[in-house]
Each structure stands twice: as C-alpha cells, then as structure tokens.
C-alpha cells in the first residue's frame, strides 16, 4: 500500500511542476476587447 502512495505522490509532484513550467513558459495574450460601462451619478456620494 505504501508503494502506491509513493507513486501517487510522485505523479502529483510531476504534474504540479509541469503545470508551473507550462504557466511560466506559455505566453498568455491579454484580453483585447474594450469594455465601457455607463455608471449613473446616483452611485457616487457627494
């Protein structure tokens, strides 16, 4: 049973490290859509 636990832990560590390398190396493009909202003046306290 402990051998299976060791294998599961090793697989989890490899997956986490691979995910970290992927996020560090992958160039995620920023959103390019412009968002404009009209905020009524009633929402601002004077």
The per-residue pLDDT for 46 is 62
Structure pTM? 0.56
Q: Give the span between the Cα atoms of 1 and 8, in whole angstroms.
A: 11
SS3 32: coil
What is the per-residue pLDDT across 1-46, written as a single tens digit (0 to 9) for each?
A: 699 999 999 999 999 999 999 999 998 888 899 889 888 888 787 6
Angle at 28 between CA 22 and CA 23, to 5 degrees: 20
């Amino acid at each position: 049973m402990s051998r299976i636990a060791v294998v599961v832990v090793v697989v989890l560590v490899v997956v986490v490290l691979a995910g970290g390398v992927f996020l560090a190396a992958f160039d995620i493009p920023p959103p390019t859509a412009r968002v404009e909202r009209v905020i009524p003046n009633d929402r601002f306290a004077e």
